[in-house]
Amino acid sequence: MPELPEVEVTRLSFADRIDGAVVRAVRLGKPLRWPLGIDVIELLRSHVGAPRRRGKYLWLPLSRRSVDAGGLLLHLGMSGSLAFVSRPAAPGPHDHFDLVTSAGTLRLTDPRRFGAVVWSPSIDSGLAGKLLTGLGVEPFDDEFDGDLLWRALRRRRSAVKVALLGGDIVVGAGNIYACEALFAAGIDPRARSHRISRRRCARLAQAVRETLAQAVELGGSTLRDFRDARGCVGEFQLTARVYGRAGQPCPVCGTPVRRVVQGQRSTYFCPSCQRS
């Protein structure tokens, strides 16, 4: 599943090219998770503003004659990707949405159709507002620090990794990034959230921020078929120190990396370097 770094990398790969473009046509393929929510005719001749990201969602603001015309909220689902090209090929069976603009065509490809493109009157209202309500803070915001994390975790009895994956404390710490951040912070992913000290929470918050920043810099992770809007693959997975390395030596101490299952997700950690 594309996580926050992959979504941010995707945004960066087309944001400057689509900003200010005029919508010329909209093509809908097979139904996605939710209906578009507006007649496609209403989107024509709209101007696309600078794309924004909230968690794993992208928001494309629209305007018409300098008047706000709502926007499109996009989600890549489990296996979706966006491409932005000047001359797209004929749509295939998994190409379910085309936004044709004066600068190029933004196409959503999603083999499993768990992704979505929905119109809302604003990012804070309509279906967009409902979907974004309850998301945690952004990991790169100043608000996200050790104190915020400690206050949130002290009310939880779940394992710390499960708490991170929930997305209601901080967004973006997907499975691979939660594993890597917990390793960097030296915290056992099975440790109970409420038992983690304020000092260790400060380390963990910093590790989450640095791990996600590194992932964005490396183009995200391509574990299967992720590509950004230019068609480039990510390389963060090549630098992973514990994720996907069960049985291999820890890069710090040499102890074999362990794999356990938490919340139906694989967790990788070093039993020597990471303590409860």
Question: Which DSSP letter does residue 222 get?
Answer: -
Q: What is the dotted CATH code of the domain comprising 146-269?
A: 1.10.8.50
Instruction: Encode pLDDT of 243-276 as tens digits.
Output: 999 999 999 999 999 999 998 999 999 999 999 8
- The CA R_g of the chain, rounded to the nearest whole Å, is 20
Which amino acid type is present at position 245? R
Correct CATH for 4-132 of 3.20.190.10, 3.30.590.10, 2.60.40.10, 3.40.1280.10: 3.20.190.10
Has residue 225 got a pLDDT over 90? no
Please state, in angstroms and rounded to a whole number, the distance separating the CA atoms of residues 63 and 49: 7
Burial of 275 (0-12, 13-18, 19+ CB in 10 A): exposed
Tell me the whole-structure pTM to 2 decimals: 0.94
Query: Edge-to-edge, what's the strand order for the sheet holding 81-85?
Result: 23-28, 95-101, 104-109, 81-85
Please state, in angstroms and rounded to a whole number, the distance separating the CA atoms of residues 186 and 179: 11
Active site residues: 2-3, 56, 265
**Mean of the pLDDT values across residues 31-36?**
94
Has residue 1 got a pLDDT over 80? no
| Residue of 180, 118, 119, 141 lying closest to 55 (CA atoms) | 141
| Residue of 39, 110, 24, 122 lying closest to 73 (CA atoms) | 122
Question: Which percentage of the chain shows pLDDT scores above 90?
Answer: 93
Instruction: Encode pLDDT of 179-214 as tens digits.
Output: 999 999 999 999 999 999 999 999 999 999 999 999
Please state, in angstroms and rounded to a whole number, the distance separating the CA atoms of residues 77 and 57: 10
Has residue 241 got a pLDDT over 80? yes
Domain edges within the chain: 4-132, 146-269
Instruction: Encode pLDDT of 103-157 as tens digits.
Output: 999 999 999 999 999 999 999 999 999 999 999 999 999 999 999 999 999 999 9
